[in-house]
Amino acid sequence: MAEENDEDKTEPASERRLQQAREEGNVPQSRELATFLVMMGGVLGLWVSWRWMLDHLNGVLRSGLSVERETIFAERGMLDMLSSISSEALLSLAPLFAVLVIAAIAAPVMLGGLLFSSKAVTPDLNRVNPLSGIKRVFSLHGLAELVKGLLKSVLVGGVGAWVLWHYRYELLGLSTMSLETASAETGRILLWATLSLASCLAVLALVDVPFQLWRYYSQLKMSKQELKQEMKEQDGDPQIKAQIRARQREMARRRMMESVPKADVVVTNPTHFAVALKYDSARMGAPTIVAKGADLVAHNIRELARKHGVPLLEAPPLARALFRHAEVGQQVPAALYTAVAEVMAYVYQLNHFLSAGGLPPDEPHDIAIPVGMDPGSASSAAQPA
């Protein structure tokens, strides 16, 4: 069978296909959304904590520029000072770093949800295959990434140039300001510059997210043949299911035939039907069907009964009624209690005759069957199915 082309994959991905992709770590991703969220996280972090950060960083700067003579000549003085200043600087930036980490995690969660897949980090030689890399570069996806990269460079570069030009006088005037004033002005310029860049990245994210979702679901599309094959795998191959059902029927028939030697009597049609009955007053409320069959199965039931000495009683109406209205393992229908009781009475008399002797019992004839219970009678045949 020829390999299917991408043109043949016209059907949306099934739920099973999407679940398999997630298990392999294949979920929709957008680098532009991640960059935008990180940038916006930086803006929010600066907006909320820039005063606190500036105060602490000013303190760190003063501590770094104010060095005592004893510290310089001490054996570990400068190292201890560097360690202290570094710790204070990291503590000052910790709120901003925390916001950036949360934003970096939020981007993939927004598109693909929470996911951890060991397959995604499993080494794959195909990822470092030069031929595969060249194919990706010159593919439609590679062209789209190139266009997106150029657009990103133009937008970000243009916004960055505009910010520098807009704040050119403020930036030149920083050298004439005091440390506190210069720090506050730098924080303000940095905040508005970051907000401008984040707004620019928002435009890219609005374009990239729909494109990445479209590309992701397009790559997972399936052909009609793949859908049929998946349905077969889920529901099972019809041929295999038929074989399983046939084997189950054979096993059930074998178990049924094993119950025939334990039956009390086999009621026959005499040739078309055979129904084996057993009654145990200690465990059963009424006689139970232990085996039944038609044609060949009925013949096998009769032969097995003769072989093991189980009495055979020819009663066509009752045999047809039992075969029609009761399944193997079920008790006889209540409507047939009287007819079956007449049969069981004959069986008990026969067993007594065989064990104690005397006069053999007469086989019951013309056993009365309730109207409508015998499928072979004229009245039953006239009733609608």
Question: Considering the domain boundaries, does residue 71 fall inside one?
Answer: yes
Burial of residue 47 (CB within 10 Å: 0-12, 13-18, 19+) is exposed
Comparing 128-142, 167-181, 210-224, which segment has the lowest mean pLDDT?
A: 128-142
Residue 220 contacts residue 13 (beta carbons within 8 Å): yes
Tell me which residue of 111, 113, 107, 120 sits closest to 23, measured CA to CA: 120
CATH number at residue 337: 3.40.1690.10
Among 234, 250, 266, where does a domain finish? 234
Do both 268 and 150 map to the same domain? no
Residue 12 contacts residue 94 (beta carbons within 8 Å): no
Question: Considering the domain boundaries, does residue 3 fall inside one?
Answer: no
Residue 317 contacts residue 345 (beta carbons within 8 Å): no
Do both 140 and 213 map to the same domain? yes
pLDDT at residue 288 tops 70: yes
Do both 14 and 126 map to the same domain? yes
Do both 48 and 138 map to the same domain? yes
Do both 57 and 181 map to the same domain? yes
Provide the number of structural domains found in the chain. 2
Question: Considering the domain boundaries, does residue 1 fall inside one?
Answer: no
Q: Give the whole-angstrom CA distance, residue 10 versus residue 218.
A: 9
Question: Considering the domain boundaries, does residue 4 fall inside one?
Answer: no
pTM above 0.85, yes or no: no
Do both 14 and 163 map to the same domain? yes
Mean pLDDT of 67-73: 69
Among 234, 250, 277, where does a domain finish? 234
Do both 262 and 357 map to the same domain? yes
Which contacts qualify for 279-286: CB closer than 8 Å, 24 or more apart?
279/344, 284/331, 285/331, 286/331, 286/332, 286/334, 286/337, 286/340
Do both 32 and 56 map to the same domain? yes
> Given the structure tokens 């029927």, which residue do they identify?
249
Tell me how long the chain is: 385
Categorize the per-residue pLDDT at 115 as very low, low, confident or very high, splitting at 50, 70 and 90. low
Question: Considering the domain boundaries, does residue 2 fall inside one?
Answer: no
H helix runs in the chain, sequence order: 15-23, 31-65, 69-73, 77-112, 130-137, 140-166, 168-172, 179-219, 224-235, 238-259, 296-307, 316-325, 337-356, 378-382
pLDDT in tens, 38-60: 878 877 777 777 677 777 777 77
Residue 283 per-residue DSSP state: T
Tell me which residue of 34, 56, 46 sits closest to 194, measured CA to CA: 46
Please state, rounded to an integer, the average pLDDT across all residues of the chain: 78
Do both 125 and 193 map to the same domain? yes
Q: Which residue type, as a one-letter code, is found at position 113?
A: G
Q: Give the whole-angstrom CA distance, residue 162 versus residue 230.
A: 55
- Domain containing 362 equals 240-382
Among 234, 269, 287, where does a domain finish? 234
Instruction: For residue 282, give both structure tokens.
Output: 């200690």
Residue 264 contacts residue 344 (beta carbons within 8 Å): yes
Mean pLDDT of 365-377: 79
Question: Considering the domain boundaries, does residue 376 fall inside one?
Answer: yes
Side-chain half-sphere CA neighbours of 199 within 13 A:
10
Q: Which residue type, as a one-letter code, is found at position 49?
A: S
Q: Give the whole-angstrom CA distance, residue 358 versus residue 240.
A: 58
Do both 84 and 15 map to the same domain? yes
Do both 107 and 178 map to the same domain? yes
pLDDT at residue 128 tops 60: no
Question: Considering the domain boundaries, does residue 101 fall inside one?
Answer: yes
Residue 340 contacts residue 289 (beta carbons within 8 Å): no
Question: Considering the domain boundaries, does residue 329 fall inside one?
Answer: yes
pLDDT in tens, 15-24: 878 777 777 7
Mean pLDDT of 354-374: 80
pLDDT in tens, 302-328: 998 889 888 898 888 888 888 888 888
Tell which wins on pLDDT, 302 or 67.
302
Do both 227 and 335 map to the same domain? no
